[in-house]
Amino acid sequence: MMVEPLALRGITKTFGATRALDDANFVLRAGEIHGLIGQNGAGKSTIIKVLAGLYRPEAGTVAIGGKVLSHVTPRAVEAQGVHIIHQEPLLPPSFTVAEALFLGREPHLGPLLALRRMRKEAEKIVSAQFDISISGNALIGELSAAQRQVVQITRALLLHPRVLVFDEPTAALVRQEANRLFGIIRRLRDEGTAIVYISHYLEEVRDLCDRITILRSGRDVATVDPSATPMAEMVALMTNRTIGDMFPKRQVSRGGAVLAVRSLRRAGFFEDVTFSLHGGEILGLTGLLGSGAKEVLQALFGLGRVDGGEIAVRGQAVTIPSPGHAVARRLGLVPEDRRHQGIALDISVRENATLASLRKLTRFGLVDARRERQRVASLIQRLGIKTPGPETRTRDLSGGNQQKVVLAKWLSAQSDVYILDEPTVAVDVAAKVEIYRLLGDLTARGSAILILSSDLMELCGICDRILVMYRGRITRRVLPQETTANDILAAATGAGTSRDRPEAA
């Protein structure tokens, strides 16, 4: 019987009340490339961190080469020949290529480092493995994403790995670089290295892998042969959800265009991004990591540069070089990381709620305390913020109520456009429904909402239109009533044929 290079069985891992992995299994055979797929939050990252020895599970075993490890630590896993190529290469940017490759096993001439020998050996090894030329003296921080991947893979190969794990390796690569990486992975498999390949891009997983394991809600729901499994079936196994009553949707007449974006681009992140956002509308935006969707939101709020294109607010062309300019144009941003970017945790609900509107509450250089109290009391009531009082420290509220405080800040500023980045992440179901109802109230008042979300059911449930980004471009424009979460996920992974709607839709 052939020994399995890697086997994780019955893995359970919890974080507080959240069960990230629930009796999950993953078995890698010799001589294969084995894909691991699932939606965000399915447990992919968690199971890899268990394998890497970064998380200790409550139950389950990790076996390498048929041997169950009694203590799973990063050092023990590497000693058994398992190496992980992380999405963000963990190489010091100030190191040269030679220093990064030989870190921890540097050749010496007596007491001194053999720097010239290191450089020549580094260049020779990279050339032999990948048929490309990279200077051994080049700094890691100056290399392209593809070159950093090559250095990280080469460093792992010098340790003669039994198993290589690739975690979203093409997220920062252009198509030509990705194709070269696929050739390298296939060659490594043919030379005897077993490969685990994790990616959101279903088309490349299907084309590259010999088998695919699908995770959903912390469990392995299927292991399939990609050559015999339709893409739609894999997508359905990943989602297994339908729209229910948890998405209250208000029907609102759409007004005129409040925000218009034309041919917006930022080199290396997105290009030719064109769309309009109307009063009374919720416009959804989605895309996988590396699609450029998040960077588009940041650019609209002055948190990232643009290299070309046009932004217009209420028909007037504008530049938004900073968040201050965005606020002046009556744009508000609810960031994904509310605890570090959206609110100040150690000040009160009152102070957070009026943080973006203090100028409107100030007379002769002093805050009108009476007007401020009245406005905050109204916001607390309107948003249903559960707090002992306006002076309660924001840190002491639940996640859902903290999110409502962020929304209160922009309501107080009387924004016309609300840009929401994953607005319901890490909040409970009841709080989500309340937030959806609030968004409906905002549109009824004529506000325009642009929402970036990886929760595809959420987008289908609350949006009027949905834009799908893939590798820096908007590739699909769909109406929720004419599509499904499965179709959107397929489009986001480059595998879909969802109906495209014109911009006027």
Q: What would the pLDDT profile of 181-200 be if each residue is shown by its tens digit?
A: 898 899 999 999 999 999 87
Domain borders along the chain are 1-81+163-240, 89-160, 279-307+315-492
| pLDDT for the residue 242 | 46
Q: What would the pLDDT profile of 199-249 be if each residue is shown by its tens digit?
A: 877 888 999 999 999 999 899 999 999 999 988 788 788 877 544 556 777
Question: 125-139, 145-159, 237-251, 471-485: lowest mean pLDDT where?
Answer: 237-251
Is 479's pLDDT higher than 90?
yes
**pLDDT classification of 34: cutoffs 50, 70, 90:** very high
Same topology between domain 1-81+163-240 and domain 279-307+315-492: yes
* Mean pLDDT (the chain, rounded): 86
**Choice between 465 and 172, residue whose per-residue pLDDT is larger:** 465
DSSP, residue by residue, 417-458:
EEEEESTTTT--HHHHHHHHHHHHHHHHTT-EEEEE-S-HHH
| pLDDT for the residue 340 | 66
Q: What would the pLDDT profile of 239-287 be if each residue is shown by its tens digit?
A: 775 445 567 778 888 999 999 999 999 998 999 999 999 999 999 999 9
Domain 279-307+315-492: which CATH number of 3.40.50.300, 3.40.50.720, 3.20.130.10, 1.10.760.10:
3.40.50.300
Distance CA 246, CA 433 (A): 6
Q: Among candidates 250, 294, 213, which has minimal Cα distance to 43?
A: 213
What is the per-residue burial (b if ≥16 Cβ within 10 Å, else e) of 249-282? beebeeeebbbbbeebbbeebbbebebbbbbbbb
Q: Which CATH homologous superfamily contains domain 1-81+163-240?
A: P-loop containing nucleotide triphosphate hydrolases (3.40.50.300)
Largest CA distance in the chain: 84
Is 124's pLDDT higher than 50?
yes
| pLDDT for the residue 325 | 93
Element (H, E) at 327: helix 323-328
Is 504's pLDDT higher than 70?
no
